[in-house]
Structure 1
């Protein structure tokens, strides 16, 4: 069969207007949900990386009722611990400003017993360095409270990692559903246009040539619908990102998409189109060899 004949046949195969529009809308919805799930996964992994790099090596020491010489002694002792990169005693005015949303103007009262907080930035093996810092502080201030960011952030990190894995599972599930839709669409077109396919075979068309007609139709519908869904999802992601950044919270500030992440999301319609073409080809060739 000539290419011109194949082209004319291709315009008929799987070219039912209602069916074509339905598949494009289905693919648009599938890609919309897939891109959102992908953005969630990429954003949460970015947040995990931010937590690991910024907060995992942080410690805080709280001293209640400590004098300035006692605070300086603790700071000097901690600075001498190998692996400690920086030590900073938070000024009382800064602590009062942090407490003001809960205490109001009472937080500015000089007689209010506000604990002295010392921020410690640890490098290297946070476990061994943290133990050394705890020993030094405990020797100078037995009543001091020492918190390790990695300890209380552990459950938060586990939760974020679970969200990332869930998002990845959703992307795989959507890809499987897309392949199934391509399979069903191809088989439906095969049944609907069986007489036309018989004529193409009588004209000398091979099974591979017939399957290509289905592939082109399904690829076009998937690509067009996927592009629409991806653009809509990108708009939703941009809106959500603006809302997240407006929160100005430490735990959500790392949930952001970089240029590489956007490129991966933009490639999803192409990947899904290739997947749909592959499954359509396999399904059509298997059906043609079995029934025709």
Structure 2
């Protein structure tokens, strides 16, 4: 049966061309899916990490008044049920934050700096509103900055990038299906006389379609091997060094176990999809013309 399949679809230039095109399509699809998963996970991680974080700034001009307001705010925030953790940021940490701009002047004890309180909030939209209410009561001049609001544009951009990557992957799948359809129709046209003889000998449309299906599945499997190897090399060359450069925050753009599982299953799904498209294309064409 394999010899008949090889004769039914030209194994030379046409077969190699289809394998090459399908390999390119699957490689680009794998990259698009990986990018989409990474961007989606990054947006979710940013939201989960920063939506429950906030910073309180007290900027009273008088150091004594500023310190007193910070002490009142810290005590009130620690007693609030919507605050899971409140920590006064030491002056040394503030000096490290401004050192890139001020240099050695950041360590000057006479340099005026605001009092900062780092907050971790309980889940829920009402937590930030409760904190604002507490601060208005004990430290009216305090300013609260929500970390989630600060990175909301970046999270939105990551979600858009994830949706765009999904759309690109869908287009690649559609293009791959079109390649299989064209190859199957070309094979039918090139071997119309042979297929007519097979029908005369008793072969059914499903048996003829099975020949095309097996050949396309074999070509798609070869393409999947090439594309998977290329994608693995790309991941080894780019993803690991990038994660190392990002450091402790690298997990925000990692694919995770589920993401890697999806990528591992895609070559197998690709082969099955190509074989199914070939079978349906040949079956419909034979039903109409032969």
TM-score by length of 2: 0.92
Residue from 259, 262, 280 that aligns with 1:261: 259
Counterpart of 1:141 in structure 2 is: 139
Counterpart of 2:83 in structure 1 is: 84
Counterpart of 1:169 in structure 2 is: 167
Residue from 22, 35, 52 that aligns with 2:30: 35
Q: How far apart are 1:250 and its partner, in Å? A: 8.1
Aligned length: 286
Give a deviation string over 1:22-65, Cα, whole Å, max 9, x none. Answer: 11111111111111111111111211221222111111111225
Of the structure 1 ranges 19-28 and 68-77, higher mean CA displacement relative to structure 2 is found in: 68-77
Q: How far apart are 1:252 and its partner, in Å? A: 6.3
Counterpart of 2:95 in structure 1 is: 96
> Within 1, Cα distance between the matches of 2:101 and 2:244?
21
Counterpart of 1:189 in structure 2 is: 187
SS for the counterpart of 1:112 is coil
Give a deviation string over 1:103-133, Cα, whole Å, max 9, x none. Answer: 22222222222222211111132x3221121
Counterpart of 1:3 in structure 2 is: none
Counterpart of 2:119 in structure 1 is: 120
Q: How far apart are 1:207 and its partner, in Å? A: 0.8
> Within 2, Cα distance between the matches of 1:249 and 1:102?
23
TM-score by length of 1: 0.91
Counterpart of 1:159 in structure 2 is: 157
> Within 2, Cα distance between the matches of 1:100 and 1:157?
28
Aligned 1:1-292 pairs, distance under 5 A = 6-65=1-60, 66=63, 67-125=66-124, 127-248=125-246, 253-292=251-290
Q: Where do 5+ consecutive residues of structure 2 fail to align? A: none
Q: Where do 5+ consecutive residues of structure 1 fail to align? A: 1-5
SS for the counterpart of 1:248 is helix
Of the structure 1 ranges 161-170 and 252-261, higher mean CA displacement relative to structure 2 is found in: 252-261
Of the structure 1 ranges 155-164 and 33-42, higher mean CA displacement relative to structure 2 is found in: 155-164
| 8 A Cα contact 1:34 1:170, kept in partner | yes
Give a deviation string over 1:62-110, Cα, whole Å, max 9, x none. Answer: 1225544432221111111122110111111112112222222222222
Q: How far apart are 1:140 and its partner, in Å? A: 2.9
| 8 A Cα contact 2:58 2:69, kept in partner | no
SS for the counterpart of 1:117 is strand
The CA RMSD over aligned residues, in Å, is: 1.9
> Within 1, Cα distance between the matches of 2:115 and 2:188?
76
7 and 224 in structure 1: CA distance in 2 versus 1, 3 angstrom threshold = closer
| 8 A Cα contact 2:43 2:156, kept in partner | no
> Within 2, Cα distance between the matches of 1:30 and 1:10?
24
Q: How far apart are 1:218 and its partner, in Å? A: 0.8
